[in-house]
């Protein structure tokens, strides 16, 4: 049993089930779902072919050649339908692929390149490609099952079940195509993209351990060794928490992750510090550190704020000039910071079943998160009263929610924004208007 509880986020009604790093990485890939679906449809086809063969054998044993003749005539009609379906599926796959490329290009150009990951992780997109490819593979397999023999006494199989299965796959493909177009259009709308980013960020918050009230910070003991990174250079995507906790418990030590999730690491850089005992064998720590080419949501608390800030900056750039998008991003930034306003930060402590701390994982502190959410947007909001008014309202709301010890960075950003607007405003009425808090910006 764990001595930690999880605080529910406003965006979630229940605690999300934590996925292993392997399952998270598979969700970040696009090849796994279609490949698994094609393998699955091959297995289903083998079963359907066996069932068709059993039906023909049973009819031949009963000498019901009239029924077999009817099935052969049905097979001739079904063959034409299956051939047409096979040709149409390739066209459908091309259409879906083209729509995906256009949607990804538009989203990355208008919002931020990092939102492409939302398209890659989209379940409906993967399901559509998987079902379309599976239907195409199934049509090829079914075509190989048609017997060229016209004599009911000599025929070995009639793809009756296989043809019905193909028609069912076609119906499923059409349904998924409609859902796919709807989902793609939603992902091209900035409000839904921002909402998805916020939802993923809240999943990270909900999966983090939170100490039960009254517990003191654990004593780690003296640092005895450091474990260097031996893999390729890249961004620290996540760590296998369960594996590290088991290794630390088995050898009676406490492991401390040195870089934060999202930091860039190179070979030879120390990634783990060992406290209170000898270094666990390398085989116990193998595959516990995952490095990739980009950051992910899995354990990265600040990645959502990074994307929201990028979207706000893109909206405030002279090329786009869309302050309403920046206001929408600020809405979610304030929501995210409000959920963390009274939550312990700086480090996530992972315990074993006995309640002993075995892994210390650094996370961004409150000041760092506030700076990440407001600094860059504040620098570009001077010429946009809509954004400055919304930012002031958000800071005021956070000042009401945050405990006294966490108000300093909020007050600092509020004062810096006021000073910047004072210098940029031409007249006093313009300055007063830009510094009037408004949760809708200018409505």
Is the model's pLDDT at 133 over the cut of 60? yes
* SS3 state at 216: coil
How does the average pLDDT of the chain come out, rounded? 84
Confidence class for position 321, pLDDT limits 50, 70, 90: confident
CA angle 21, 30, 107 (to 5 degrees): 105
CB 246 within 8 A of CB 351: no
What would the mean pLDDT of 414-436 be, rounded to a whole number?
A: 88
Q: What is the pLDDT of residue 209?
A: 81
What would the mean pLDDT of 74-101 be, rounded to a whole number?
A: 82
Q: Which of 335, 428, 310, 343 is nearest to 390 (CA)?
A: 335
Q: What is the pLDDT of residue 212?
A: 54
Task: Indicate the pairing of strand 357-362 with strand 254-257.
Answer: parallel
pLDDT in tens, 344-389: 888 888 888 888 889 999 999 999 999 999 999 998 888 889 999 9
* SS3 state at 264: strand
* SS3 state at 326: helix
Q: What is the pLDDT of residue 217?
A: 63
Provide the β-strand partners of residue 348.
361
* Least confident piece of the model among 14-23, 121-130, 215-224, 292-301: 14-23
CB 211 within 8 A of CB 4: yes
Q: What is the pLDDT of residue 216?
A: 56
Q: What is the pLDDT of residue 401?
A: 93
CB 389 within 8 A of CB 442: yes
Percent of the chain with pLDDT over 90: 31
CB 162 within 8 A of CB 48: yes
What would the mean pLDDT of 411-433 be, rounded to a whole number?
A: 89
Q: What is the pLDDT of residue 29?
A: 79
Is the model's pLDDT at 98 over the cut of 70? yes
What would the mean pLDDT of 127-153 be, rounded to a whole number?
A: 85
């Amino acid at each position: 049993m764990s001595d930690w509880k999880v605080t529910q986020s406003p965006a979630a009604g229940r605690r999300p089930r934590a996925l292993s790093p392997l399952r998270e990485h598979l969700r970040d890939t696009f090849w796994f779902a279609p490949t698994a679906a094609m393998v699955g449809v091959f297995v289903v086809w083998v079963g359907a072919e066996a069932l068709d063969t059993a039906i023909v054998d049973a009819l031949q044993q009963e000498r019901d050649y009239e029924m077999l003749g009817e099935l052969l005539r049905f097979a001739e009609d079904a063959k034409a339908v299956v051939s047409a379906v096979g040709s149409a599926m390739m066209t459908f796959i091309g259409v879906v692929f083209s729509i995906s490329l256009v949607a990804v290009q538009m989203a990355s150009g208008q919002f931020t390149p990092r939102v492409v990951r939302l398209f890659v992780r989209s379940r409906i997109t993967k399901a559509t490609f998987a079902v379309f490819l599976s239907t195409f593979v199934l049509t090829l397999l079914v075509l190989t099952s048609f017997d060229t023999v016209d004599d009911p006494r000599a025929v070995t199989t009639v793809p009756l079940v296989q043809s019905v299965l193909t028609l069912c796959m076609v119906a499923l493909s059409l349904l998924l195509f409609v859902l796919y177009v709807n989902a793609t259009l939603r992902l091209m709308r900035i409000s839904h993209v921002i909402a998805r980013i916020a939802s993923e960020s809240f999943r990270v918050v909900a999966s983090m351990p939170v100490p039960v009230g009254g517990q003191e910070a654990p004593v780690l003991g003296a640092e005895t060794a450091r474990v260097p990174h031996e893999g390729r250079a890249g961004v620290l995507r996540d760590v296998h928490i369960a594996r590290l906790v088991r290794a630390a418990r088995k050898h009676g030590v406490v492991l401390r992750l040195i870089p934060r999730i999202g930091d860039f690491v190179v070979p030879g850089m120390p990634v783990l510090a060992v406290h209170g005992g000898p270094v666990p064998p390398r085989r116990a720590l193998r595959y516990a550190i995952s490095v990739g080419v980009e950051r992910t949501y899995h354990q990265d608390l600040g990645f959502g704020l990074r994307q929201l800030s990028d979207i706000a900056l893109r909206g405030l750039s002279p090329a786009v000039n869309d302050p309403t998008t920046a206001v929408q991003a600020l809405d979610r930034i304030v929501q995210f910071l409000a959920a963390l306003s009274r939550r312990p930060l700086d480090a996530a402590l992972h315990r074993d079943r006995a309640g002993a701390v075995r892994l210390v994982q650094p996370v961004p502190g409150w000041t760092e998160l506030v700076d990440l959410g407001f600094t860059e947007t504040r620098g570009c909001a001077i010429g946009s009263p809509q954004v400055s008014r919304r930012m002031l309202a958000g800071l005021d709301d956070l000042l009401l929610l945050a405990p006294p010890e966490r108000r300093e960075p909020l007050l600092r950003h509020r004062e810096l924004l006021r000073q910047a607007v004072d210098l940029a405003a031409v007249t006093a009425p313009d300055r007063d208007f830009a510094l009037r808090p408004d949760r809708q910006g200018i409505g």
